[in-house]
Structure 1
Amino acid sequence: MKKQKRNLFDELMQGLDDLADARTGKQTLRTHEVEINPAPDVTADEVLA
Structure 2
Amino acid sequence: MKTEQLISAFETFAPTYLANDWDNVGLLVGSKEWPANIILLTIANIHLFSFTV
**TM-score for both structures, normalised by structure 1:** 0.22
| Structure whose alpha-carbon radius of gyration is higher | 1
Q: Which has the higher helix share?
A: 1
